[in-house]
Structure formats: structure tokens, C-alpha cells
Structure 1
Amino acid sequence: MSGRLDIVGLGPGREGLVTPEASAALAAAAAIYGYGPYLARVPWREGQARHPSDNRVELDRARAALEAAAQDRVAMVSGGDPGVFAMAAAVCEAVEQGPQAWRGIEIVVHPGITAMLALAARLGAPLGHDFCAISLSDNLKPWPLVEKRLAAAAGAGFAMALYNPISRARPWQLGRAFGALRAVLPAATPVIFGRAVMRAEEHIEITTLGAADPARADMATCVIIGTAETRVIARPALPPLVYTPRSMPA
């Protein structure tokens, strides 16, 4: 079977943070598939077809791209990194469930800078020790499992990056998540809200778990929860540094 599907991470949104290999893959594609706002970030090339779709139809998008990739070279775009709560997993799932012929398509995943790493870079090293990433969306998993994972990660001393913290359809999850974490972590634990990080509308706020307000977040926000050891270093006339020490007490 001829054809190829490049799954491309666009990073946090700044053109200069897209890897050269990812840019070359996009330029070489006969067609590009993706969530509409992400697809709009890709520079236009004459003769290249574009297929925008909604953010809740990942499997349908993956199947459409694979059908096209059976005959030609196409690309699929993801914000951040395609392997972090994004399209690489959807494509793999579609291949597993789809016709045998799709297993012969060349699939290349191009990594990108995911939201938690972009936000951490703005602050210093809040993820400098062991950490995990948890999506608060219950579209694909039950909410009790989310709460179980939050409590387990907090109890084990992991810093956490929370993806998909809140939306118009899910306005309550982040508040519930903070409640679950407050049962395990000190109220002084640092919490960071990072909205549209490394884009023109970037806004970053550092607070504590005791004072964290879910209303400060939306779907463009990544939330980092520190640990009991995470430090905030005040600096005169400069933003504070936030880091989680690499050494831990015995």
C-alpha cells in the first residue's frame, strides 16, 4: 500500500516552536486534517486540501485521514504533542479497529511541546521532580476514576499537570478536583493556572491550593499542582521562580 500519514504536533501555538521536521511534513502533505482552530495555525500552501472538523470527532477525523493516506501523503495536526491526550492515540485506535489494509500505511508521529512543558518553562521547574499528567475530561472515562487517580498521585507525592480542566459542558470538574486534592495536600501547595501559554493572550497566575478558584480556568488553560516540597522564589522586579526540588527527604 502506498501513502503516508504524518501526525504533527504544533506545540503551544508559536510558529517558532514547531520543529523543522514537523514543518516539512506539513509542507509535503497533499491534504491536512485537524480540529479547525489548530488547522488555522498551519501556513497556507496552494493546492493543499484542508479538512477541519470539530474537537469531539477525533475517531471520525482519524478514519478520514487514514482513508486518504491509503492513496497519498496526508497530515494530521494536533495542538501541543500529538501523543498527549491528542490525535496519535485516536489514529492508533482507528488502525486497530479499521480494515487490515490500514496497517500497511506508513505512520510517522512528529512530537511537539505539550502545554505542561510550555507552562513549566515559563516558571522555572515546577515539574522538576516526578510528575504526571491527568485529563479532567470524563468524556472517555468515568469521573470516579479521575478522582481516584488524583488522590493516588497526590498521596504519592507527584506534581500534576491537569489538562481539559473545565468547559461549558463540564463546569464542575475542576472544583471537584481541587476538593479531592485538598483532602491530601497542604493548603499552601502551589497551584499555577496557565492560559494560552506562549501565545499573544498568555496569562499565568500563581496561587495556592487553598485559594485556587476554578473560575480562573477554561479549556485553553493548563493547571499545574505542585507538591508539599514545591518552592516559590520571589524575585524583585522579576516574575517568581517555581520549582520542585530533585532531592527528596528520606
Structure 2
Amino acid sequence: MSRAVLTFQDVTFHYPSGNLIHKHPILEDIHFQVNAGEFVSIIGASGSGKSTIFRLITGLEQPIEGKIYLNGKSMSNQLGQVGYMPQQDLLMPWRTVMDNAILPLEIKGVKKAEAIDEVRKLLGEFGLEGVEDAFPSDLSGGMKQRVSFLRSVLSGSNILLLDEPFSALDAITRLNMQEWLLGQWEKRRKTILFITHDVEEALFLSDRIFILEQEPNPSLKEVHVPLRRPRNVRDLTRTEVVIMRGHLIDQLRLKVKK
């Protein structure tokens, strides 16, 4: 039986407004779990609470009610306990690829020489060999995201949060990065929670998809992706996947219209 590495237990969250509390919570009695080695995507209309879930997991926000468990432990301070890859790469423009990549190791107190040795062993695997002395301005969008993903892996966490990391890339680069990410995930078997607005991306990458809705009340629905692994982009043309894609898009469009 798979081990749960992330659990939301009846979590409710809303932002304060001055001395008042918003009447309608962003998340209300949300319960789900993600198992070790799973790839789970979160989709939903803008404002549905996708990024709020990540802020709660990372410890940037705390639930009003309920508990969040990481690797079976309820933690009041999760800062630094998960790897995070944002939509924008957030690479430091004055630091080289190598110096950007070693940042999480430096934060953990690893000596710089040891950190460089550790990163150097991974450069080829991440498609970064030969560009370690380049600066972010010299890199393509896909290369920048590889550095960003490397940094999240070097956090040492078994849970990685990826917040629309490929949304700014062109279609071909995006597909290449999706295939590359799947290869990395299959090799490392980290648990990945992935935010996206792209239904096809969620279907291609995920074991399960969580759909966040705000109307009539905040809720979370779950669907299982009917694809075995390994998979490739041509699997998206299978009848059951096409039907699921249409159903998910209809759900999201309905929420936007409201």
C-alpha cells in the first residue's frame, strides 16, 4: 500500500480583510492525500485556490482550521520542507548557472566546493553540461526551467511543488519540457504536485487530477487519468482521454462563465 507523503485533513483557509474575515473561504473542509511517487496535477479557474494550496504546503500561510501532514507529521512550520519550482524561474541574474544551482545547498550549510561537486555530477542529466558558467540571460526559457527544476531537486525534499513552470514557453519547447520532466520523474520518483491551466498537460503528466471549484462552495473533485505508464503524447488521442479532456474543459468553462 502506498504511503501518504502529503495530507490535507479538513483544511479551511480565508484571508483576513482588515479586522474582518471574508465570509467566503477560499478553501473549506478540503481533504485529500498524495502518495509517495505520485504525479498529481491541480487545475481550476483563476481564483479557485490553486496557489493558496501551495502557500499552505510551503508554510507561507497557515490553515484557519484543519491539519496539513508532510510525511506523516503535522507541522506548524513547513518552510524549507518541500522543493518549490515557480512559474517564473527566479534565477539570480548576477549568478552563473552553477552558482544558481548550488543555492539550496548553500542555504543548507554545505561548503561551496562540496556543493559544486554535487551539482557537477548532475549537469549532464539536466541538459546543462557546458553551460555551467553562463548567466541566465544567455539561456533559453527551457534551459532556465531546467536550472530551476535542478534547484528544487537539490532541496532534498521528496515532495516537489511545480507552479505552472512551463506556461511561458512556446508550444514545442513546452512539449519537450513535459517529456523531459516525465523522464526525470520516472527516474527519481519524487512526489510531484503540479499546478496548470492546461488540461492536456495535466492529462499527459498526471496519475490523478484535482479540480478546484469555488461555486457554489469551495470544493475539490478528483479524477484518475486512464493512461498507463510509460506514455507518450500520442496517448492523448485515445478515445477515453479525449472524452475526459472535453469533460474537464467543459467544467472549467462553466466555472469561468459564472
Give the TM-score, by structure 1 length. Answer: 0.25
Query: Greater RCO between the two (CA within 8 Å, min separation 6)?
Result: 2
In proportion to residue count, which structure has more helix?
2
